[in-house]
């Protein structure tokens, strides 16, 4: 096995796209400042954070008690990582100075032996490293490693990088062969260690990541034995059973795992690190394990929106095809993790399947987690909501019909910041002889072999243009063509400098390969139709039987009550649906493409049960992009609609 390509850094690519630039600007101008105020406890009416104050107390700069979740440090880490990426999109000297000041505090909070964790420094120093299952010391370390690498790459400043090298060295001194054979309860440090390895070139960090991955599952009872040895627990009756080996993915060694099980975010972070390591070391056995897990997720355990982890019981994967819509968990962080996993798999093999899922997550399952104004967030992303039941009735209380302003466990808001500000890192990979374009985003990319400007009207229109300024004359440009685009059905056309290309001859595994001697100003134009598509679920997905969902381009659509007389439950979609895409020009959804659908409304007797046959009435229905739901008050929402034959 030979890795296809390497990562492209965020500094090499600038997003200039009508769709994504608006989101990035909102993140930078609204979300990052808002979250900074939250992390400093300056926003009334939202859950208290205290995260930065915890670092001040640990640094001896303030007095008081630790407050928050045991993993509160990770909120600061993810926010700092997002800030780092944002500085490459929009330089901001004042924001950078405030980030530097926070990094100074973090450095002062580090202990003489390199240990960094505010909970145990302030509250229980005698219990360091005794509860890997619950207390997330390694998880927090991993996120701060990622922040350190991002900040160094964005600004050239290495203070936080050195802090986290010392922490990584502290971890290496404690865990590994011939030392404590520990593993993280919540995987993440493996990703951080791999990033630390790449930026420093120090093999010991990659070796530590491999140890944590390969040690997992060798002793399925590790967490139970750890609990017996320490004799105390952190979360009390709400803690996870250490004998539940699937929850923490310790039921088998990673090379033998073939089902995505347990906590969805933990699992997918682990799969991301596995794929990263497999690509770095050309590890065919590890890559095959990744492919098995990938195929199980995308073919049996993923929602149409890209959501994963269908049950609230452990925020976890359930069984194959168990994908309830109105009880879905589908944590925002899990969709973000699938973007990470997809990109690492793409670096190993340019297979359009991976790019298709990355695209699905970006346009649906991730950005549904944030309100259009950037001020409120979803942790859970259902595909059906019924006010009065969702968020209130037992079994549905996790399914909120409107986004809260913040969370006590605020992993998703800061995770969204770091993803949205680093979008450019997911658009390209560059191999020895080939540049890979994975996403139809408008952008300017300054790559090793060429500068490429992309003009895009995606996702609302099917037109993308690549302008190439080569730095060397001979290389291959491989452009991902989304899997839903069929050459004849969607009238896919490609021209190079105005001359048509025989597409069938140059598409392999979902990538359009263009190999020629490049000249300044070479232009590739890709056009295709974007009709509304009807999507049907496998009949093993019992909740979607007899239903249809609508997509246009990469966008999944849903129906909200506010557009449909307050009642979407009585709507029906006919076979061979006729739908028209209409640009919304006013209100909160302005700029979004809506669907006007020829459908029916079903009328029934007022009785609970009746022998009267329901009647149907023609009606024009309105569907909106799934990511934009819950922006206009509490109302019904459905993705999967009953089909009328």
**Which pLDDT tens digit goes with each residue over 320-355?**
999 999 999 999 999 999 999 999 999 999 999 999
Characterize the bridge pairing of strands 463-470 and 547-552: unpaired
pLDDT for res 81: 97
- Concatenated DSSP letters for 140-196? HHHHHHHHHHHHHHHH---HHHHHHHHHHHHHHHHBSTTSB----SS--HHHHHHHH
In the predicted model, is pLDDT for residue 12 greater than 60? yes
| List 315, 331, 384, 430, catalytic entry | 315
| List 140, 290, 411, 547, catalytic entry | 411
**Alpha-carbon span 86 to 422, nearest angstrom:** 8
Mean pLDDT of the chain: 95
* Average pLDDT, integer, range 226-248: 84
**Alpha-carbon span 280 to 183, nearest angstrom:** 21
User: pTM of the full predicted structure?
Assistant: 0.96
Q: Are 272 and 357 in contact (CB under 8 A)?
A: no
pLDDT for res 231: 86
**Alpha-carbon span 130 to 454, nearest angstrom:** 51
Q: Are 417 and 32 in contact (CB under 8 A)?
A: yes
pLDDT for res 7: 87
* Average pLDDT, integer, range 100-121: 98
Q: Which of 566, 576, 580, 575 is nearest to 620 (CA)?
A: 580
What confidence category does residue 159 fall into, taking pLDDT thresholds of 50, 70 and 90? very high
What confidence category does residue 505 fall into, taking pLDDT thresholds of 50, 70 and 90? confident
pLDDT for res 239: 65
**Alpha-carbon span 641 to 45, nearest angstrom:** 37
In the predicted model, is pLDDT for residue 497 greater than 80? yes
Q: Encoding tokens for residue 65?
A: 């008690």
**Alpha-carbon span 82 to 69, nearest angstrom:** 21
* Average pLDDT, integer, range 415-425: 96
pLDDT for res 237: 57
Q: 252-272, pLDDT tens digit by residue?
A: 999 999 999 999 999 999 999
Judge whether 315 counts as a catalytic residue: yes
Q: Are 459 and 433 in contact (CB under 8 A)?
A: no
């Amino acid at each position: 096995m030979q890795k296809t390509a390497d990562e492209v850094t965020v500094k090499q690519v600038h997003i200039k796209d009508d769709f994504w630039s608006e989101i990035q600007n909102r993140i930078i101008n609204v979300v990052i400042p808002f979250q900074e105020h939250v992390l400093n406890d300056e926003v009334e009416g939202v859950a208290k954070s205290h995260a930065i104050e915890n670092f001040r107390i640990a640094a001896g700069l303030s007095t008081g008690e630790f407050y928050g979740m045991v993993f509160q440090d990770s909120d600061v880490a993810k926010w700092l990582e997002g800030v780092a990426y944002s500085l490459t999109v929009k330089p901001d000297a004042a924001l950078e100075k405030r980030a530097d000041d926070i990094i100074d505090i973090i450095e002062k909070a580090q202990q003489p032996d390199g240990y960094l964790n505010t909970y145990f420094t302030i509250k229980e120093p005698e219990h360091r490293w005794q509860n890997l299952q619950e207390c997330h010391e390694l998880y927090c370390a991993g996120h701060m490693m990622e922040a350190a690498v991002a900040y160094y790459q964005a600004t050239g400043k290495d203070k936080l990088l050195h802090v986290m090298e010392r922490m990584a060295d502290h971890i290496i001194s404690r865990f590994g062969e011939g030392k404590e054979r520990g593993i993280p309860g919540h995987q993440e440090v493996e990703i951080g260690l791999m990033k630390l390895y790449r930026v420093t070139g120090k093999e010991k960090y990659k070796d530590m990541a491999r140890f944590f991955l390969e040690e997992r599952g060798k002793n399925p009872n590790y967490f139970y034995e750890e609990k017996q040895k320490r004799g105390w627990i952190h979360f009390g009756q709400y803690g996870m059973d250490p004998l539940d080996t699937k929850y923490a993915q310790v039921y088998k060694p990673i090379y033998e795992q073939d089902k995505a099980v347990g906590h969805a975010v933990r699992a997918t972070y682990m799969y991301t690190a596995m794929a990263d390591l497999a690509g770095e070391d050309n590890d065919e056995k590890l890559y095959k394990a990744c492919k098995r897990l990938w195929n199980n997720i995308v073919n049996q355990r993923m929602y149409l929106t890209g959501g994963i982890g269908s049950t609230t019981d452990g925020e976890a994967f359930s069984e194959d095809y168990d994908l309830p819509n109105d009880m879905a968990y589908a944590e925002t962080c899990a969709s973000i993790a699938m973007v990470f996993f997809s990109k690492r798999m793409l670096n190993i093999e340019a297979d359009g399947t991976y790019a298709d899922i990355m695209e699905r997550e970006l346009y649906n399952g991730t950005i549904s987690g944030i309100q259009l104004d950037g001020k409120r967030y979803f942790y859970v992303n259902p595909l059906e909501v019924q006010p009065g039941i969702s968020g209130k009735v037992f079994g549905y209380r996790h399914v909120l019909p409107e986004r809260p302003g913040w969370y006590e466990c605020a992993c998703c808001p800061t995770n969204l910041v770091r993803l949205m500000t680093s979008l450019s890192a997911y658009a390209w990979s560059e191999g020895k002889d080939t540049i890979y374009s994975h996403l139809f985003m408008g952008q300017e990319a300054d790559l090793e072999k060429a500068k490429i400007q992309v003009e895009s009207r995606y996702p609302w229109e099917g037109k993308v243009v690549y302008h190439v300024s080569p730095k060397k004359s001979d290389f291959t440009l491989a452009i991902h063509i989304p899997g839903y685009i069929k050459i004849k059905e969607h009238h896919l056309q490609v021209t190079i400098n105005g001359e048509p290309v025989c597409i069938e001859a140059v598409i392999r595994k979902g990538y359009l390969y263009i190999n020629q001697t490049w000249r300044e100003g070479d232009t590739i134009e890709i056009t295709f139709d974007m009709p509304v598509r009807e999507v049907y679920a496998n009949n093993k997905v019992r909740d979607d039987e007899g239903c249809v969902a609508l997509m246009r381009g990469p966008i999944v659509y849903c129906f909200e009550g506010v557009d449909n007389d307050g009642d979407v439950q009585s709507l029906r979609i006919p076979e061979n649906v006729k739908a028209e895409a209409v640009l919304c020009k006013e209100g909160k959804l302005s700029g979004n493409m809506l669907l006007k659908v020829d459908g029916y409304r079903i009328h029934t007797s007022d009785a609970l049960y009746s022998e009267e046959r329901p009647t149907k009435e023609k009606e024009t229905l309105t569907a909106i992009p799934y990511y934009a739901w819950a922006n206009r008050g509490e109302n019904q929402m459905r993705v999967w609609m009953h089909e009328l034959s």
